[in-house]
Structure 1
Amino acid sequence: MILFPAIDIKDSRCVRLTQGNYNNEIVYSNNPVHMASQWETQGAEYLHLVDLNGAKTGQSKNIDIVKKIADTISIPVQIGGGIRSLATMENYLNAGMKKVILGTAAIEDKSFLAAAISKYPTQTIVSIDARNGLVATNGWTEISKVKARDLAKELEQLGLQTLIYTDILKDGMLSGPNFTELQIMQASTSMNIIASGGVTTMKDVTTLSKMKLHGAIIGKALYDGSLTLKQGLEAITNVS
């Protein structure tokens, strides 16, 4: 299993939101590029970036920072947040991103989603962000009537290979992942699943690894010191 340290970028700073609330942010660094270098130095194999401004507005306002991160570190990076066109996908791929993550577009623009998966089958990831099992869109500010498991099945039929599942109610709460929903998602599809939201302890990482998930994204726990990247990597090694 891959551990993905998360760098959420808002207004050129590295922040964390609680349950996706844009009015409830904590600033952890004014230099996301330096933060990316730190995670690489500590042993990260992959980074997870989110343009929070982009997630809310659909415009890639932090792309210059994203480019600097790609130029500074050598490990692969995946990026999400406001990616709603092939042109934006290509801009990020040309900027050095390994994979791009689609969120709102997976719900609201099925033709774009199909085109993205067709053109970039190994580089396209869809993030299903859910609250009480229902998919959220537009930076988690709107809740759809689409069930997460139903969307996952539809995405697999389109040819998607990798899926991120985020439980909004767990995100930033340091209370552990929603293992029940993750098991449901795991049973609903054969795609690679990356867990996000609530990963806090070595036990959380061990449990996710034993579930044979593709990866786990860790955010607030790393920044608050509840879990170190070294501890997380050790937990995976012990399972292996």
Structure 2
Amino acid sequence: MIIYPAIDIRGGKCVRLTQGRYDDITIFSDNPVNMALQFQNAGAKYLHVVDLDGARGDTDNREIISRIAKTLSIPVQTGGGIRTMADIEEILGFGISRVILGTSAVKDPGMVGEAVKKYGNRIAVGIDARNSFVAIEGWEKTSKIKAVDHAKNMEALGVQTIIYTDIATDGMLSGPNILAMSEMVRKVKLDVIASGGVASLKDIRRLKEAGVAGVIVGKAIYTGDVDLKKALEIE
């Protein structure tokens, strides 16, 4: 299992949202590149970066994401606003190890298939669930597709890795939705990276027991609820 410290970028700053609400934002750092370096220095083996502006169609943060990839020696995965093959090519060209497709995987599954054929496991799909249904466009809309069904569709296209986020718990420090994560692990043969709600080392251990391939830890690192070095020992 891999622990992924998370950096969410909005307006060039490192921030956290609560339940994905753009009106409930906390700024943790003015320098996402420095924050990424701190995580690497703490021993992180992989970094998770989200372009929150990109998720709403703004590409201004890409230069920062490129700098993170070029500065770090560990692999970086990123998502948010990656909608076309040209976007994928541009971002992988920065030296990013894996791109995460979200809205585009719902609206254009054919492109996911094409991307997987070309780039293999460098393509992951982000599945963000609100009451079991897939949310899209920076979580501002909810589709009629069930998260588990969407995961099965992605599996059929050759996707190997999904990042599964439970929106209700994200940024709440209330503990992850273990039931939803366990169900997803059982129903697909994919590597499931769990995201949302991690507030303690115990939460990380419970997710490991549920069989996830990775855990994304965001707000809890910034608030000090989770000591990253201790979390990395659970891997």
Identify the TM-score tier after normalising by the shorter chain: over 0.9
SS of equivalent to 2:192: strand
Alpha-carbon deviation of 1:60?
2.3
Corresponding position: 1:24 with 2:34: no
* Cα distance between partner residues in 2 of 1:184 and 1:61: 37
Aligned to 2:190: 191
Alpha-carbon deviation of 1:211?
2.2
Aligned counterparts, 1:70-219, within 5 A: 70-219=69-218
* Cα distance between partner residues in 1 of 2:16 and 2:103: 20
* Cα distance between partner residues in 2 of 1:176 and 1:231: 17
Q: Which amino acid aligns with 1:185?
A: M
Where has structure 1 moved over 3 Å in runs of 4 or more?
Answer: none
SS of equivalent to 1:79: strand
Aligned to 2:49: 49
Aligned residues, how many?
235
Aligned to 2:34: 34
Aligned to 1:10: 10
TM-score scaled by length of structure 2: 0.98
Alpha-carbon deviation of 1:71?
1.6
C-alpha distance after superposition, 1:112-168 (max 9, x if no partner):
122112211210000000011000000000001100011111111111100110000
Alpha-carbon deviation of 1:10?
0.3
SS of equivalent to 1:120: helix
The answer to whether the Cα contact below 8 Å between 2:76 and 2:96 also exists between their aligned partners in 1 is: yes
The answer to whether the Cα contact below 8 Å between 2:178 and 2:210 also exists between their aligned partners in 1 is: no
* Cα distance between partner residues in 2 of 1:61 and 1:110: 26
Give structure 1 stretches of 5+ with no counterpart.
Answer: none
Alpha-carbon deviation of 1:183?
1.0
* Cα distance between partner residues in 2 of 1:61 and 1:129: 23
Give structure 2 stretches of 5+ with no counterpart.
Answer: none
* Cα distance between partner residues in 2 of 1:164 and 1:64: 23
* Cα distance between partner residues in 2 of 1:73 and 1:107: 31
Question: What percent identity do the matched residue pairs reach?
Answer: 50
Q: CA RMSD in A?
A: 0.8
Q: Which amino acid aligns with 1:234?
A: E
Q: Which amino acid aligns with 2:98?
A: K
* Cα distance between partner residues in 1 of 2:234 and 2:112: 35
Q: Which amino acid aligns with 2:101?
A: L
TM-score scaled by length of structure 1: 0.96
The answer to whether the Cα contact below 8 Å between 2:55 and 2:80 also exists between their aligned partners in 1 is: yes
SS of equivalent to 2:172: coil
